[in-house]
């Protein structure tokens, strides 16, 4: 009896929590005439993909998509390479300053963009990298690389060095042993870290808002914000806005489901920026 | 490392330098994108940065004058107080929901638990900007779902704008931030709960412990470290709610009455190009974050060593 009641409570909470996401999908399929009615339509019956067509019509979506892909791609690639090398250093070598480095890695990832974006804006201004994919990527790489190091460090440490040494006894050089034995075993860690870095760069808003002020170079979050901002004077076409949100959110949701398990344990034992 | 190897003259130096070479790219990019800005901000916060400086005049060194000006302004304290209050209330509500939902996940059958987990995951995965757009629509004053629901429940609120009044503005912000943050808290605490062994709980039940006593004296002490760390993270994150507040302000609320630390810095720096004041405020936010993070980092290092 009590278990049934708790079950009902859990279902109610699940419905409340999923409602906003459902509401986005529902509204994205409905024409504005229907959304303008006083009583909301709870199911997208008679809905169509028209909103999606009109949102993607003027090409600004694809432009923003291109910028977002470039920024995220650059951030993921550099982040993985840099973090991988650093993770190797701290889990395979003992050296002076190692402990301070680990401490710094943990601290740096807690630094908020909200406390630094003014200086980053001035820095990019003086480097001539305002409104540039490279400028914003540099900041993303620096922001994500500490967590990626921490995450990969666990993976590298999980591959016993004995394996490499055994291969070296068999006549491989240290580098060869590493590339043939250890590297393949790290693939899952690299994928997880890569997806994490991708999501961070893809979703980032604060730094992008400050550095990418030109509409030609906006990322998807900025493009989405533009909908509400431009239209605050006139009535918003919520159907189109929700279609835009869906386009931004759905790829992220799918990617996120892949790394979720690792994120939770990573967050508790390794810290991540929200 | 390898100890029995005969001494080779060239190898040791190379091996000594290898780790530093490997660290170099990561260190360089962090120094450029985070290190330099912090130093610049620190220096700028002690300089006078006015209109003349924007046209290239060398800035004047004023030591702590900016901090004094900033913190003798009552508006600064309003912003700080607002941010801290919002952060603490949001973190507390998030933790209450997180613990509650984690316990609930354990109490219900597997299919129901998975349903709840999927719902939470979807909320967690939604990008901040998309989530804010959805919530702006749900709270829209003309055709928003919330106003319709409340009106049908007998609270006439058709046409009520929740974002106009600062108090209800922050209530909306609280609902949104809690909605976004609870999934992580619930999952993390649930992961901690699964560490509590069934045998211990059964033994306690046989000894006559009530469900509440089992929660209070067995479950809570075991998951206390997880709760501590999740709460600390929530406080750190909720102190820096920039995107959420900024995107709610976009819908036409009075920004001066709803500014928090992040939006205040944005207004000072990007809005009025007062880089000295913006830097002083940023340094304050950084110090606040570092003070909070310190406990967290110490905890992690301890765990890492054991």
Classified as helix, coil or strand, B115 is helix
Identify which has the larger pLDDT, B15 or B178.
B178
Q: Say yes or no to pLDDT of B170 above 90.
A: yes
Choose among B34, B122, B300: nearest Cβ to A116: B34
| CA B186/CA B229 separation, integer angstroms | 13
Question: How much is the average pLDDT of A11-26?
Answer: 95
Per-domain residue ranges for chain A?
1-47, 59-266
Q: Say yes or no to pLDDT of B11 above 80.
A: no
Which of A114, A219, A254 should we substitute to test contact with B (largest number of B Cβ atoms within 10 Å)?
A114
Confidence of residue A158 (pLDDT cuts 50, 70, 90): confident
Q: Which of A159-173, B43-57, B170-184, B190-204 has the highest mean pLDDT?
A: B170-184
Q: Say yes or no to pLDDT of A266 above 80.
A: no
Contact B34 A271 (CB under 8 A): no
Confidence of residue B87 (pLDDT cuts 50, 70, 90): very high
Which pLDDT does position B264 carry in this prediction? Answer: 92
Contact A23 B138 (CB under 8 A): yes
For residue B121, the chain A residues in CB contact (below 8 A) are: 256-257, 260
Per-domain residue ranges for chain B?
85-304
| DSSP 8-state secondary structure symbol assigned to residue B78 | H
Distance in Å, alpha carbon of A240 to nearest chain B alpha carbon? 11
Q: What is the pTM of this model?
A: 0.88
For residue A256, the chain B residues in CB contact (below 8 A) are: 121, 124-125
Q: Give, for B191, the enclosing helix (H) or strand (E).
A: helix B166-193
Angle between helices A117-127 and B36-44 (to 10 degrees): 110
Residue numbers of A between 41 and 100 with CB closer than 8 Å to B: 78, 81-83, 85-86, 88-90, 92-95, 98
Q: Say yes or no to pLDDT of B162 above 90.
A: no
Name the closest residue on chain A to residue B284, using Cα atoms: A115
Which pLDDT does position B9 carry in this prediction? Answer: 46
Question: How much is the average pLDDT of A53-66?
Answer: 90
Choose among B2, B37, B130: nearest Cβ to A248: B130
Q: Say yes or no to pLDDT of A10 above 50.
A: yes
Contact B26 A83 (CB under 8 A): yes
Q: What is the mean pLDDT of chain A?
A: 86
Q: Does A7 touch chain B (CB under 8 A)?
A: yes
Question: How much is the average pLDDT of B269-298?
Answer: 87
Contact A115 B286 (CB under 8 A): yes
Q: Does A183 touch chain B (CB under 8 A)?
A: no
Choose among B38, B41, B125: nearest Cβ to A253: B125
Q: What is the DSSP string of B234-287?
A: HHHHHHT--HHHHHHHTTT--HHHH--HHHHHHIIIIIT--HHHHHHHHHHHHH
Choose among A40, A115, A249: nearest Cβ to B130: A249
Which pLDDT does position A82 carry in this prediction? Answer: 95
Choose among B26, B123, B229: nearest Cβ to A85: B26
Architecture per CATH, A59-266: Orthogonal Bundle (1.10)
Choose among A7, A82, A210: nearest Cβ to B270: A210
Q: Say yes or no to pLDDT of A13 above 70.
A: yes
Q: Does A175 touch chain B (CB under 8 A)?
A: no
Q: Give, for B47, the enclosing helix (H) or strand (E).
A: strand B47-48
Which pLDDT does position A94 carry in this prediction? Answer: 84
Distance in Å, alpha carbon of A216 to nearest chain B alpha carbon? 19
Which pLDDT does position A173 carry in this prediction? Answer: 84
| CA B199/CA B202 separation, integer angstroms | 5
Which pLDDT does position B292 carry in this prediction? Answer: 85
Question: How much is the average pLDDT of A179-185?
Answer: 82
Q: What is the mean pLDDT of chain B?
A: 86
Contacts of A106 (CB under 8 A, 6+ apart): A146, A150, A271, B297, B300, B301
Question: How much is the average pLDDT of B287-306?
Answer: 80
Contact B25 A3 (CB under 8 A): no
Judge contact between A274 and B183, C-beta under 8 A: no
| Model confidence pLDDT, tens digit, residues B183-199 | 999 998 998 888 777 88
Picking from A156, A143, A117, the residue whose alpha carbon sits closest to that of residue A199 is: A143
Which pLDDT does position B283 carry in this prediction? Answer: 92
Distance in Å, alpha carbon of B268 to nearest chain A alpha carbon? 9
List Cα–Cα distances, A56 to A42, A50, A252, in angstroms.
25, 10, 18
Confidence of residue A215 (pLDDT cuts 50, 70, 90): confident
| Model confidence pLDDT, tens digit, residues B111-139 | 999 999 999 999 999 999 999 999 999 99
Percent of chain B with pLDDT over 70: 92
Judge contact between B241 and B258, C-beta under 8 A: no
For residue A113, the chain B residues in CB contact (below 8 A) are: 240, 242
**Antiparallel, parallel or unpaired: β B60-61 and B47-48:** antiparallel
Contact A18 B122 (CB under 8 A): yes
Contact A18 B282 (CB under 8 A): no
Kindly state the tokens that stand for A120. Answer: 């980053």
| CA A119/CA B136 separation, integer angstroms | 31
Which pLDDT does position A46 carry in this prediction? Answer: 77
Percent of chain A with pLDDT over 70: 93
Q: What is the CATH number of domain B85-304?
A: 1.10.3720.10
Distance in Å, alpha carbon of B206 to nearest chain A alpha carbon? 20
């Amino acid at each position: 009896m009590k278990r049934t009641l708790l079950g009902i409570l859990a279902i109610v909470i699940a419905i409340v929590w999923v409602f906003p996401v459902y509401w986005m999908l529902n509204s994205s399929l409905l024409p504005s005439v229907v959304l303008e009615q006083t009583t909301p339509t709870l199911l997208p019956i008679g809905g169509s993909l028209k909103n999606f067509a009109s949102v993607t019509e003027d090409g600004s979506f694809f432009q923003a998509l291109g910028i977002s892909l470039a920024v995220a791609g650059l951030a993921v690639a550099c982040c993985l390479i840099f973090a991988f090398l650093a993770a190797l250093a701290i889990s395979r070598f003992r050296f002076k300053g190692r402990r301070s480095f680990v401490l710094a890695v943990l601290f740096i990832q807690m630094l908020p963009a909200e406390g630094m974006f003014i200086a980053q804006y001035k820095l990019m201004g003086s480097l001539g990298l305002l409104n540039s994919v490279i400028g914003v990527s540099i900041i993303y790489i620096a922001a994500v690389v500490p967590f990626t190091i921490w995450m990969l460090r666990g993976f590298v440490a999980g591959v016993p060095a004995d394996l490499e040494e055994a291969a070296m006894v068999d006549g491989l050089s240290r580098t060869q042993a590493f590339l043939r034995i250890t590297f393949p075993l790290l693939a899952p860690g690299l994928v997880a870290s890569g997806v994490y870095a991708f999501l961070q760069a893809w979703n980032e808003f604060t730094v992008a808002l400050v550095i990418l002020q030109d509409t030609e170079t906006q990322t998807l979050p900025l493009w989405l914000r533009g909908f509400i901002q431009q239209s605050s004077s006139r009535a918003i076409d919520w159907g189109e806005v929700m279609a835009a949100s869906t386009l931004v959110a759905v790829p992220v949701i799918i990617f996120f489901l892949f790394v979720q398990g690792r994120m939770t344990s990573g967050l508790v034992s390794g810290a991540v920026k929200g | 490392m390898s100890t029995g190897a005969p001494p080779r003259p060239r190898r040791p130096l190379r091996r000594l330098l290898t780790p530093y070479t490997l660290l170099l790219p990561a260190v360089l990019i962090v120094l450029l994108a985070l290190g330099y800005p912090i130093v610049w901000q620190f220096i700028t916060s002690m300089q006078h940065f006015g209109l003349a400086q924007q046209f290239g005049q060398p800035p004047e060194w004023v030591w702590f004058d900016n901090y004094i000006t900033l913190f003798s302004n009552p508006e600064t304290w309003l912003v700080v107080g607002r941010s801290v209050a919002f952060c603490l209330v949001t973190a507390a509500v998030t933790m209450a929901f997180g613990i509650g939902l984690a316990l609930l996940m354990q109490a219900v059958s597997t299919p129901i638990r998975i349903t709840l987990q999927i719902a939470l995951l979807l909320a967690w995965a939604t990008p901040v900007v998309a989530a804010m757009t959805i919530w702006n629509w749900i709270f829209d004053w003309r055709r928003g779902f919330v106003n319709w629901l409340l009106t049908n429940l007998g609270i006439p609120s058709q046409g009520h704008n929740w974002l106009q009044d600062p108090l209800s503005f922050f209530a909306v912000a609280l609902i949104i931030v809690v909605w976004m943050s609870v999934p992580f808290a619930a999952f993390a605490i649930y992961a901690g709960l699964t560490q509590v062994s069934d045998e211990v709980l059964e033994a306690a039940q046989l000894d006559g412990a009530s469900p509440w006593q089992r929660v209070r004296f067995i479950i809570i002490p075991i998951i206390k470290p997880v709760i501590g760390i999740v709460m600390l993270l929530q406080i750190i994150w909720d102190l820096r709610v920039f995107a959420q507040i900024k995107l709610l302000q976009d819908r036409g609320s009075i920004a001066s009455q709803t500014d928090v630390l992040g939006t205040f810095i944005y207004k000072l720096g990007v809005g009025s190009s007062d880089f000295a004041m913006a830097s002083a405020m940023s340094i304050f936010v950084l110090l606040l974050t570092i003070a909070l993070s310190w406990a967290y980092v110490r905890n992690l290092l301890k765990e890492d060593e054991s």
